[in-house]
Amino acid sequence: MYERFRAIARVVKPHGRKGEVVTVCVDGLPSLVRAGLEVAVVPPALGDGRWHVVDACSDGGRSGQLVALSGATTLGDAEGLVGKTLLARASDLPADLALHDASALVGREVRVEGTDECGWIEEIMVGPANDAWCVRTPAGEVILPVIDEVVSALPESGPITLRVPDGLTWPGGKDGL
């Protein structure tokens, strides 16, 4: 059986002389690189190993995560990783990753629980506390926080059911539907 892999970060620059690198998230995903995670570096350099274990990483900020990979111990090693992508096994990633995956969510239909109100996800905005979905409806646009009280489940296909929180007006509808 084949394993599924997911691109989670891109190496943007070396950092220091001990082989550490700075990575940034790809495809609008949250920071997924963590200590102990086994990652594949693609494309691999000839003669070098493709697989590495994340020895250490920072929490990540606006400028990216500082990451130490097994086997990368010199500035030269780190420079050789610049421009490469880190892949992780899908089974090693968080179960709620689909809630943050812009490539899979943009364009998906949403429906308001208990009504015939609908729309589609137009954009995903990444925030420090939680993401927000910009939902386009026939009557306008609404921005909804991606929290359990609003999005309780994410089906693999079909419309996503939403609960509109009190105090929020659905375009063309009532307050807090």
Q: What is the pLDDT of residue 177?
A: 44
Exposure string over 87-120, b if 16+ CB within 10 A, otherwise e: bbeeebbeeeeebbbbeebeebebebeeeebebb
* Digitized pLDDT (tens) for each residue of the chain, 177 residues in all: 678 898 999 999 999 889 999 999 887 777 889 999 999 999 987 777 789 999 999 876 667 899 999 999 999 999 999 999 999 998 898 877 766 676 778 899 999 988 888 999 998 887 777 888 899 998 889 999 888 889 888 887 889 999 988 888 788 665 554
Length in residues, the chain: 177
Is residue 93 within 8 Å of 37, Cβ to Cβ? no
Q: What does CATH list as the number for 5-93?
A: 2.40.30.60
Exposure string over 7-25, b if 16+ CB within 10 A, otherwise e: bbbbbeebbeeebbbbbeb
Q: What is the pLDDT of residue 161?
A: 92
Q: What does CATH list as the number for 100-162?
A: 2.30.30.240
Q: Where are the domains of the chain?
A: 5-93, 100-162
Q: What is the pLDDT of residue 62?
A: 64
Whether 5-93 and 100-162 share one fold: the answer is no
Contacts of 162 (CB under 8 A, 6+ apart): 110, 111, 112, 113, 135, 144, 150, 151
Q: What is this structure's pTM? A: 0.64
Q: What is the pLDDT of residue 60?
A: 62
Q: What is the pLDDT of residue 166?
A: 82
